[in-house]
Amino acid sequence: MRNISDVIEQYLKQVLKESQANAIEIKRQDIAQRFECVPSQINYVINTRFTVEKGYLVESKRGGGGYIRIRRVILHEKQDVLSSLMDIIHEHPRLNEQLVENVLIRLVEEQMMHEQEAQLIYHLLSDEALNLQVDDRSYIRRQQLLALMKVLRYRNGG
């Protein structure tokens, strides 16, 4: 193995494989010590090797009793639907209620979310809830729809 990042990556994957639950919890400092590197190296490994696209979810907590938790998830098989929707969201200069609705309907049709969930999100992204200037509304919708896509990448079988 050439570099320490690869070594740490392999180590974490090994531990993950051996764990019953598809998750491990580590202390950043401990791992750094074990491999004699700076703590931020662990972040580098996580940011480059344990991404959502690769099927990993990472959560963490700072402060006393802090930890980093890495979870293995199964990616949704319809990644292409998500990326095409993401493109649409990115390209549209203005995101109005109609566009939000279209995106949500598409997701329901593709069976990536339930009708009820779409309903909820539609209301959260409505003009009424987002009582802002047009541009701000558009910005929030873009951000939130993209956040939604990110979650849908691994939901349903993760």
Partner DNA sequence: TAGTCAAAAGTCAAAGATGGTCAGAGGGTG
Partner DNA sequence: CACCCTCTGACCATCTTTGACTTTTGACTA
Stretch that binds DNA, among 1-9, 78-86, 135-143, 149-157 (CB under 7 A): 1-9
Q: Among DNA, a second copy, none, what does residue 147 contact (CB within 5–8 Å per kind)?
A: a second copy
**44 part of the interface to DNA, by CB under 7 A:** yes
Question: Which residues bind to a second copy, rule: CB under 8 A?
Answer: 2-3, 5-6, 64-67, 113, 116-117, 119-121, 123-124, 126, 128-131, 140, 143-144, 146-148, 150-151, 155
Window 51 to 90, contacts with DNA (CB under 7 A): 58, 60-68
Cα-based distances in Å from 42 to 7, 21, 57:
11, 22, 15
Q: Is 38 in the site for DNA (CB under 7 A)?
A: yes
Amino acid identity, position 148: L
Cα first-last separation, the chain: 30
Name the residue nearer to DNA (CB basis): 78 or 106. Answer: 106
Element (H, E) at 68: strand 67-72
> What does DSSP say about strands 23-26 and 67-72: parallel, antiparallel, or unpaired?
antiparallel
The identity of residue 46, as a single letter, is: I
Of the pair 32, 117, the CB lying nearest a second copy is at 117
Structure tokens at 55: 């099927």
Q: Which residues bind DNA (CB under 7 A)?
A: 2-6, 26-29, 37-44, 46-48, 58, 60-68, 98
